[in-house]
Structure 1
């Protein structure tokens, strides 16, 4: 308990998230949701926000991605040893699953800030002696298995997490659910408060990240009754979580006094999806220091001392000479190109306009949009050389996502004599940091309105990388055409069909590359410098997790 003594004082906000991204060697994250959770925790530590985080240990990680020469994704387990990074705590709690007592233990990771702040993170683990073999596996794979496996994980996270915090001695004033995965914590709170929903609501905050109906976890009541056999509990879930199927987001909505989406547009869409609920907006941000390359860190330290804990100082980027900003970008670009060539041998060069696309490989992200018309892409390349870097994992069960990777490999093969294109395997936080700082142009092409927020473009902006994106998610708030970057396709309030929107997006994608972006990069470098400056001074200064956390404190936590 020694490691806990310093962090038990006072009341805490308990932040629950199925995944938390802290570093590549701790593979307890799958993508943006987990990385955002990690940034939230880092900013809380920097700002001395009294937070404690709860997640699952994911002993076998998400998965390690191997790609064969045709782009077929092969998934390998990514086993890691929590003992290398964390302290095993002595306390145990148990939860009932199918009337079995499943024991949980906890690992403690202290996220410490240079400001002296510290956020303890509790990693729940069912791989405990005495548990049945299948129960020991519950905390093995992040988002692994079927619905049954997933609901077991949510029982462990929500119910087990509340019990573990209590037994460890934390005094919790609010419970913050990062997505619906942890909503069963509200069931445990109802049990403790005589099913008084008004009382429980006062304790709960819910952040939703999903702008589409299909994205919210739903479980058949047959499965729910099998795993949670207490009739009163199941009746409670039906009452607050939906009569037909148990909807975790609906359960969280009905038992939280403060609910928010993660951009202004996402909140509006969520209000339409769940009419009658008041869903606020707190736009996401990223942890500035973590996602800024060492070259820009040194530059900001020299000219903008204190920027790491006050990212709003980046608004004063105009005081840094352009040649020094370009030098920092050039160093980051060289580091990325060297890594690409080391991994692939493709022979990319430093001079060529380099375009990056890296995120989850799933249909709505549309990684192949830029490859829709190879003849037009060739035309862009004849105007001025371009090279493309892709990265991203498809969920093991996402057949369409895996096909996207194969399609990119086909285009790489088709264009290999003309345009250098690579797909880097096993996308993780380290590779993400290299890419968002090392490319010249960051591409984002989701199908509207499926991007709740997106944060990779914010990371790019911190490194002077210019954004070129569909008007969805956070970019609606960050975009000023030709000033902070470029948009493709219709305005947010234009009501076009998906097919009409795609035609407009493709037209903008190729035309802006051909007529605006490529000529500016090669022939009007002074204008490109303005975009780099504005990316930092008008985007990065605002879209950071310090600003986001201050909003959570004043709007939700106090």
Structure 2
């Protein structure tokens, strides 16, 4: 679908990052992957949407590991090789200069409608009309300093609205995926002639904007939201709105992009039930709904399982909820499909395992997240001697992957420590770190490991989606009760819980619970009760894969947030 060929009202989905396909580095992690999955489901279901993001010509970064340490390399890509340039330009005032924006179009294909799809508009400032500094504004995803980030958010929010107008699209709702695009609401105020309004006229204009805007927040801690000093914001916004309006909407001390979005969006949601509760406490006075995230079933299901589902549940691709029928699939076929996916994963990491191939008969634990403190990537390795003791009874191996933000020094140290622990455990427990975590690495991991591990610090996991992807492939989770797992967890049926759901956030107790559950229940079941294990695999598919998918998620957005 071309945005220049449709006259239907559309939902305009704004996201700083969107994972489109392998080789297009316009995402950094879960937020972008979620956005990409949502666009795929919109295409499959025929939801009239258009997405707006940045071209990110230099990507996030490509991760290399040198002597156990992360090294970042730019990941340049040429939009001309994957997208179509649109013959339109718009201009945005950024500080004291006019910045011209071009655009590329990428069409997210539909699995069932050959002529349909969802267009993604990638904004690009790398134009000859701009000076050298402004040409790089859409190069580095989350790069640069605070000023660079603010200028990018002006391009995304203000420039994105202007580009959609120039394309002639009639927008029914604007969906802000996190606060990075919140400045679009100020552009809508300006369009209404209220950039310098006050009193009833301003109130009416804000109500009008609120009726058009939907906001999804993903961050459950105040410190995680983009904030800018008002002098800095006023310097770069180029008089978009009167400073007093900006200060009244953006928070008392600094321009908080989440508070701006909350004040100007009429429908707000968190990404899991627990996350919505946390957000209500963090921002009292706002109604925060809950729509739990989901993942695109086709994108994250391995080939062996896709063929299995095609045989036993023919319509699963278009109606993932039919995966509840996975319980009727013979267990030996579930086991065989997983064995194929596991062998593919082990083949792919053979060169990283000291030149040898990991043992397919061993229970393989997978952990892959952004490397940062609250994800607690070292929780499994809290007591190396305990790990060795467990492995002497029930041998296991571990595959890990994940990037640290270039400016997150604790995250860098986590990666270095993981490599150090891998060396210490080499004689007992194989531990392999896969560098440069990306779409294809994630797809192999979630389908090829036997157990998915997640160890966040509650209540800081907004939702998490990696365990949902694993469930589509019959891989159960062992996870702290936070985010989506509170909703997906059925002890011994879909997986197992670490700790208890009673506000116990102590890392030492969580580690003790992890080791106890791993030794006495999880590994014992894997090695000594294989029929029970394969039944848990089927239950993970039937109970979690059937529900935690992006088709269900976007249907809820459509019925409650867009047209409810």
Instruction: Give the TM-score normalised by structure 2.
Output: 0.96
Aligned counterpart, 2:71: 74
* Deviation (angstroms), 1:503: 2.6
Alignment of 1:59-208 (within 5 A): 59-69=57-67, 71-116=68-113, 117-195=116-194, 196-208=205-217
- Secondary structure in 2 aligned to 1:422? strand
Kept in 2, the 8 Å contact 1:488–1:504? The answer is: no
The match for 1:427 among 437, 440, 444 is 437
Aligned counterpart, 1:461: 471
Question: CA offsets per residue over residues 429-451 of structure 1, 9 Å max, x none?
Answer: 00000000000000000000100
Alignment of 1:465-504 (within 5 A): 465-491=475-501, 494-496=502-504, 498=505, 501-504=506-509
**Alignment partners' CA distance in 1, 2:475 and 2:106:** 33
Alignment of 1:229-378 (within 5 A): 229-230=238-239, 232-344=241-353, 345-378=355-388
**Alignment partners' CA distance in 2, 1:414 and 1:525:** 31
**Alignment partners' CA distance in 2, 1:118 and 1:449:** 36
Aligned counterpart, 2:52: 54
Question: CA offsets per residue over residues 77-107 of structure 1, 9 Å max, x none?
Answer: 0001111110011100010011210000000
The match for 2:395 among 381, 385, 388 is 385
Aligned counterpart, 2:201: none
Aligned counterpart, 2:197: none
* Deviation (angstroms), 1:5: 4.3
* Deviation (angstroms), 1:114: 2.5
**Alignment partners' CA distance in 2, 1:34 and 1:508:** 32
The match for 1:535 among 540, 555, 559 is 540
Question: CA offsets per residue over residues 306-339 of structure 1, 9 Å max, x none?
Answer: 1011001100012211111111000000000111
The match for 1:518 among 483, 507, 523 is 523
Question: CA offsets per residue over residues 18-37 of structure 1, 9 Å max, x none?
Answer: 00001120000000000000
* Deviation (angstroms), 1:403: 0.1
* Deviation (angstroms), 1:237: 1.6
> Does residue 443 of the first structure (1) align with residue 453 of the second (2)?
yes
Question: CA offsets per residue over residues 487-544 of structure 1, 9 Å max, x none?
Answer: 00121xx234x4xx22321121101111111111111101101110110001100000
**Alignment partners' CA distance in 1, 2:181 and 2:456:** 27
The root-mean-square deviation of aligned C-alpha atoms, in Å, is: 1.1
Question: CA offsets per residue over residues 322-358 of structure 1, 9 Å max, x none?
Answer: 1111110000000001111034424311101000000
**Alignment partners' CA distance in 1, 2:240 and 2:213:** 24
Question: CA offsets per residue over residues 186-237 of structure 1, 9 Å max, x none?
Answer: 0000001133101111100000000011111100112112212318443322
* Deviation (angstroms), 1:42: 0.3
- Secondary structure in 1 aligned to 2:150? helix
**Alignment partners' CA distance in 1, 2:256 and 2:464:** 24
Kept in 2, the 8 Å contact 1:439–1:465? The answer is: yes
Kept in 1, the 8 Å contact 2:468–2:544? The answer is: yes
- Secondary structure in 2 aligned to 1:356? strand
**Alignment partners' CA distance in 1, 2:557 and 2:103:** 27
Structure 2 unaligned regions, length at least 5: 195-204
- Secondary structure in 2 aligned to 1:115? coil
**Alignment partners' CA distance in 2, 1:131 and 1:540:** 48
**Alignment partners' CA distance in 1, 2:25 and 2:179:** 21
- Secondary structure in 1 aligned to 2:292? coil
Aligned pair count?
A: 550
Q: 1:457 to 1:266 in 2, by over 3 A?
A: same
**Alignment partners' CA distance in 2, 1:232 and 1:36:** 32
Structure 1 unaligned regions, length at least 5: none
* Deviation (angstroms), 1:380: 1.1
**Alignment partners' CA distance in 2, 1:396 and 1:233:** 35
**Alignment partners' CA distance in 1, 2:286 and 2:241:** 26
- Secondary structure in 2 aligned to 1:230? coil
Kept in 2, the 8 Å contact 1:228–1:234? The answer is: no
Kept in 1, the 8 Å contact 2:91–2:159? The answer is: yes
* Deviation (angstroms), 1:130: 1.6
The match for 2:512 among 500, 503, 507 is 507
Question: CA offsets per residue over residues 119-166 of structure 1, 9 Å max, x none?
Answer: 110000000112011100100000001110000000000000000000
Aligned counterpart, 1:29: 27
- Secondary structure in 2 aligned to 1:158? helix
Kept in 1, the 8 Å contact 2:352–2:432? The answer is: no
Which range is displaced more, 328-337 or 223-232?
Answer: 223-232
**Alignment partners' CA distance in 2, 1:124 and 1:236:** 27
Which range is displaced more, 218-227 or 393-402?
Answer: 218-227
- Secondary structure in 1 aligned to 2:349? helix
Q: 1:512 to 1:152 in 2, by over 3 A?
A: same
